[in-house]
């Protein structure tokens, strides 16, 4: 059987797959056939044929494949996808990304179908990140990949789950979700036969390692003496814009926050006036327009402020941008002050609300019960995790297993331990 296709420039890629290989009942036959397609074909090298389509404005400080530090394991060039497109696609298709659908953002999953989960949050962050990257002239696809992967390391039940696991693993280095995100993409995901992890590009991994927000700390390690690229800085700010706006919207939806409580917040007041919210009687529409208006206003401010900062800094390479002492992707002083006030408001009125604190306490009890049980009976873990105990240690392996669970599965396993 002959399979023939062509590159855009007319260069033919001709692959011969024998009838026997296709007919074999072994999955290896198909695997080898596909591998041959990617290795024996000789398209024009990707870097020569096209740089990343996403580097729209060709900013000198944008990350490109031609100035990238590459992958840990060499791979054949793909004929139709750039290296950073492959990173993004690998993240989307990995099991850890799918499980974000069942992990808490603020409200425990399952309480309301419209509350954000870690998955919907990551998608919203990616949308904001792409907008910022496109308008700042940097690598949109790399930015999207970092945004989509930035929360892969979160355990079940959000920050309360993280606090519990950090306490339980204090003797073996603790738990921090940024560091765990890198552990997932470098080690725990295993879709390839020749190496562990997703084998992402250095700059994608750097974006995960250096991800930070007012409530997260970057995962510092001695062998990573690097600061975030502009794309990584965009992902950080996009995350901050997204969760503040949609946490406020979800808090209003849950009736933990009333509109009257928002009086005095400059950011809310400015958006309310621009959106003429006082003329909107429908509660749902008013709530939605407030959140979307805030998001749009902050994104525009970020683009305009960051453009000015980048121009004044006279940055020529992504390495110079990463080494610059101050963040170059940022909000204006007035927008930053307004967002800080909103963050303080959300912390006091929402995140520390007695109902959410009660849920967090229950989550901590479930994780402690399950962690203790699995340390006593590691045979209750899947084989993939059991074989890691010798090299990774019992407590770290149990932590890896629990951190990958969804809220629902973690609660069910913890309840089963008590029966």
The 3-class secondary structure across 226-283, one letter per residue, is: CCCCHHHHHHHHHHHHHHHHHHHHHHHHCCCCCHHHHCCCHHHHHHHHHHCHHHCCCH
Between 400 and 282, the higher pLDDT residue: 400
| CA proximity to 294, closest of 327, 338, 257 | 338
The better pLDDT of the pair 261, 32 is held by 261
Asked whether the beta carbons of 329 and 233 are under 8 A apart, the reply is: yes
290 and 398, same domain (yes or no) = no
Helical H runs in 94-139?
A: 95-99, 118-136
Q: What is the DSSP string of 46-81?
A: HHHH---TTB-S--TTS--GGG----SS--PPPSSS
- Top pLDDT among 340 and 218 is at 340
pLDDT for 366 beyond 70 = yes
Percent of the chain with pLDDT over 70: 81
- Segment 326-345 shows an average pLDDT of 96
- 3 has which bridge partners? 15
Residues 7 and 139 in one domain: no
> Residue 368: pLDDT band by 50, 70, 90 thresholds?
very high
Return the percentage of the chain with pLDDT > 90, whole number: 63
Tell the burial category of 174 from Cβ atoms under 10 Å away from its Cβ (0-12, 13-18, 19+): middle
pLDDT of amino acid 149: 98
| Segment 191-196 mean pLDDT | 92
Q: Does the pLDDT value for residue 334 go beyond 90?
A: yes
Question: Residues 24, 74: one domain?
Answer: no
pTM of the predicted model as reported, rounded to 2 decimal places: 0.83
Q: Residue 220 is part of a domain; what is its CATH number?
A: 1.10.3210.10
27 vs 135, more confident:
135
Closest by CA to 157, choosing from 394, 347, 342, 365, is 365
Q: Does residue 120 sit in the same domain as residue 9? A: no
Rounded to an integer, the average pLDDT of 3-17 is 39
Whole domain around residue 15: which residue ranges?
A: 2-44
DSSP state of 343: H
pLDDT at 143 over 80: yes
Say if residue 204 is in the same domain as residue 331.
Answer: yes
User: What is the residue whose two structure tokens read 């562990």?
Assistant: 196
Examine the fold and report which residue of 44, 61, 76 is the final residue of a domain before the chain moves on.
44
Is residue 323 located within the same domain as residue 366?
Answer: no
pLDDT higher at 223 or 251: 251
Same domain, 342 and 392: no
Residue 140, pLDDT score = 96
- Is the predicted pLDDT of residue 278 greater than 50, yes or no? yes
Which of 338, 357, 376 is the endpoint of a domain? 357
Q: Is the pLDDT of residue 13 over 50?
A: no
Instruction: State the pLDDT at residue 49.
Output: 45
Which of 307, 330, 357 lies at the terminal end of a domain, its last residue?
357
d(CA 133, CA 358): 39
Query: In the predicted model, is pLDDT for residue 160 greater than 50?
Result: yes
Q: Do 353 and 363 share a structural domain?
A: no
Is 50 exceeded by the pLDDT of residue 7?
Answer: no
* Cα dihedral sign, 352-357-363-368: positive
Number of domains the chain contains: 3
For the cut 70, the answer to whether the pLDDT of residue 10 exceeds it is: no
Q: Which long-range contacts (CB under 8 A, 24 or more apart) does 216-220 make?
A: 216/177, 216/178, 217/176, 217/178, 218/178, 219/176, 219/178, 219/179, 219/181, 219/182
* pLDDT score at 111: 64
Claim to verify: residue 401 and residue 390 sit in the same structural domain: yes
pLDDT score, position 273:
86
- Do 237 and 161 sit in the same domain of this protein? yes
Distances (CA, A) of 265 to 248, 270, 342: 12, 9, 7
- Mean pLDDT within 116-141: 96
Specify the pLDDT at position 272: 85
Question: Quick one: which H or E segment has residue 19?
Answer: helix 19-23
264 and 398, same domain (yes or no): no
To the nearest whole number, what is the mean pLDDT of the chain?
84
User: Does 182 lie in the same domain as 63?
Assistant: yes
Please tell me which residue, 223 or 344, carries the higher pLDDT value.
Answer: 344
């Amino acid at each position: 059987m002959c399979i023939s296709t062509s590159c855009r420039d007319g260069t033919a890629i001709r692959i011969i797959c024998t009838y026997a290989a296709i007919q074999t009942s072994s999955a290896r036959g198909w695997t080898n056939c596909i591998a041959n397609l990617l290795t024996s074909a000789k398209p024009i090298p990707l870097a020569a044929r096209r740089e990343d389509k996403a580097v729209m404005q060709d900013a000198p400080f944008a990350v490109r494949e031609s100035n990238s530090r590459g992958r840990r394991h060499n791979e054949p060039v793909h004929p139709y996808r750039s290296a950073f497109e492959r990173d993004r696609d690998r993240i989307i298709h990995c099991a850890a990304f799918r499980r974000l659908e069942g992990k808490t953002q603020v409200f425990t999953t399952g309480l309301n179908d419209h509350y954000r989960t870690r998955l919907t949050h990551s998608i919203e962050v990616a949308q904001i990140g792409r907008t910022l990257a496109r308008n700042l002239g940097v690598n949109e696809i790399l930015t999207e990949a970092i945004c989509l992967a930035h929360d892969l390391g979160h355990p079940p039940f959000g920050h309360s789950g993280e606090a519990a696991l950090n306490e339980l693993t204090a003797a073996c280095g603790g738990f921090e979700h940024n560091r765990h995100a890198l552990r997932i993409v470098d080690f725990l995901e295993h879709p390839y036969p020749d190496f562990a992890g997703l084998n992402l590009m250095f700059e994608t991994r750097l974006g995960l390692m250096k991800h930070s927000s007012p409530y997260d700390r970057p995962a510092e390690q001695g062998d990573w003496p690097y600061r975030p690229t502009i794309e990584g800085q965009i992902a950080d700010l996009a995350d901050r814009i997204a969760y503040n706006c949609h946490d406020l919207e979800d808090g209003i939806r849950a009736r933990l926050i009333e509109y009257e409580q928002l009086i005095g917040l400059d950011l809310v007041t400015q958006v309310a006036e621009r959106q003429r919210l006082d003329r909107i009687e429908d509660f749902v529409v008013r709530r939605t327009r407030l959140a979307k208006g805030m998001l749009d206003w902050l994104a525009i401010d970020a683009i305009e402020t960051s453009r000015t900062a980048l121009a004044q800094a006279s940055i020529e390479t992504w390495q110079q941008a990463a080494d610059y002492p101050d963040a170059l992707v940022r909000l204006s002083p007035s927008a930053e002050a307004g967002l800080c006030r909103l963050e303080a408001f959300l912390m006091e009125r929402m995140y520390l609300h007695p109902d959410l604190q009660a849920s967090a306490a229950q989550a901590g009890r479930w994780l402690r019960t399950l962690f203790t049980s699995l340390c006593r009976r590691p045979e209750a873990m899947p084989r993939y995790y059991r074989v890691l105990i010798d090299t990774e240690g019992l407590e770290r392996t149990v932590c890896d297993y629990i951190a990958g669970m969804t809220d629902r599965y973690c609660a069910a396993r913890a309840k089963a331990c008590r029966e």
